[in-house]
Chain A
Amino acid sequence: MATAPRTQYTAPAQLGHWLVVLLIVAAYAVAWTMVDLKLSPTKLRLFNYHKWIGVTVFALAALRLAWRLGHRPPPLPAGMAAWERQVAEIAHRLLYLLMFAVPLSGWLMSSAKGFQTVYLGVLPIPDALGKNAALGQALTEVHEALTWLLLALVALHAAAALKHHFVDRDDVLRRMLPQWRRRS
């Protein structure tokens, strides 16, 4: 039985997308607050919250990827140029890569610095690395570089979505928004 091609992301795909948006915003807000604080109970709490958010993003990214493999996104608008499609494809792949790489680098840097990640304070995530101050510093720089790259990509992603919506006036942004059924 043939069905018309999707014009919308599925509800779970949308939920995953917007949850990750919220969590990434929260993770950045917490990170920018915590890094300049002098070591204090507040700083410890914020670091732990930041790490828990990272673990959550990683898990959601895995779920989203699995869902995406079984539920392909709706096709891009017909009017898009080949290079635009290519850039969109690369940007989305990088976004997925960074949803994994940023939390992973954070986990590794924490391990090397001697602070295990214990999800929600109860679920210890094994350390992959032993304590090593120099490696910890190097991984901190990797984590920071990756977060800046992620930020740049998110900015590009959001700008592109807005351009599609307001300039091209296509349905690219609406595909990721819930369709409220009109009752008329």
Chain B
Amino acid sequence: MSLHVRTAVAAGLLAVCGLALATPRPLVAAKSRIDFSVKEMGVTVSGQFRKFEATIDLDPARPEASKAEVIVDIASLTTGDADTDAIAVDKPWLDKLGFPKATFRSTAVKSPAPNRYEVSGVLTIRGKARPIVVPLTTAAQADGGLLATGGFSVRRSDFGIGGGEWNEGDLVADDVPVTFSLTLGPAAR
């Protein structure tokens, strides 16, 4: 089957269920999380963002039409340690006052295999935008919802996170692994 025919078939399917695709699945905040970990002197300190919004419109039939946008509330960062939290959102690090939100906006989505996506997009932290590719795996849930999981690594130096004395002598690792597990409700009809 040629690409043209496939595209035509996909377009036909799209026309049939076009309305459903127009409304992305709602995020189930209580069953979603975004975690990260920072390594200092070999010690992994993990934390999470408690508040974020995500608008994810995955279209298995036409993956390239999929869209994803995630907006993270920087002030909602927590590691479980108040002193660490205060430093993490302070000016040299994530600077919650100067840049209260970190965002990810997709620019192109590919699906190399069923339930797998490669979401290219722009990650903006501390006002600095960097291109990034986020791998994402989906799993259908019993209630008709969708669980989207994946992870990527943020290089602190790309975004100027944690400058000055904190960057001396490799005390804190540059790479900050981020993982996410987002539960999306059943598609609206």
* Interface set of A (CB-CB < 8 Å, partner B): 39-41, 44-45, 48, 113-118, 121-122, 124, 131-133, 136
Contacts and interface: CB of A to CB of B under 8 A. Distances in A.
Contacts of A131: 46, 80
A113 B42 contact: no
Interface of B: 40-46, 79-81, 83-84, 86-87, 165-166, 168-169, 171-172
A132 B80 CA distance: 8
Interface SS of chain B: helix, strand, loop or mixed? mixed
B168 A116 contact: no
Contact of B43 (A40, A48, A136): A48
- Shortest 3 CB-CB distances between A and B: which pairs? A118-B42, A121-B42, A39-B83
Contacts, number: 45
A45 B169 CA distance: 11
B41 A118 contact: yes
A118 B61 CA distance: 47
Given A40-B165, A41-B168, A131-B80, A115 B45 contact: yes
A10 B45 CA distance: 43
Contacts of A45: 41, 171
Max chain B Cβ within 10 angstroms of own Cβ: one of A45, A48, A113, A115: A115
Given A41-B171, A44-B171, A114 B81 contact: yes
B165 A39 contact: no
A39 B86 contact: yes
Nearest to B86: A39
B165 A114 contact: no
A136 B80 CA distance: 10
Max chain B Cβ within 10 angstroms of own Cβ: one of A44, A48, A122, A136: A44
B165 A41 contact: yes
6 contacts: A39-B86, A40-B165, A41-B172, A48-B43, A115-B45, A136-B80
Contact of A124 (B42, B45, B84): B42
A45 to B, nearest CB: 7
A113 B46 CA distance: 11
Given A114-B46, A114-B79, 8 more contacts: A39-B83, A39-B84, A45-B41, A113-B80, A116-B44, A117-B43, A118-B42, A131-B46
Given A39-B86, A39-B87, A44 B41 contact: yes
Nearest to A122: B42
A116 B171 contact: no
Nearest to A116: B43
A113 B81 contact: yes
Contacts of B84: 39
A41 B172 CA distance: 9
A132 B79 CA distance: 11
A106 to B, nearest CB: 14
A44 B167 CA distance: 13
Nearest to A52: B41
Contacts of B79: 114
Max chain B Cβ within 10 angstroms of own Cβ: one of A40, A114, A117, A122: A114
A132 B41 CA distance: 22
A122 B39 CA distance: 12
B37 to A, nearest CB: 10
A113 B45 CA distance: 10
Contacts of A117: 43
A44 B46 CA distance: 15
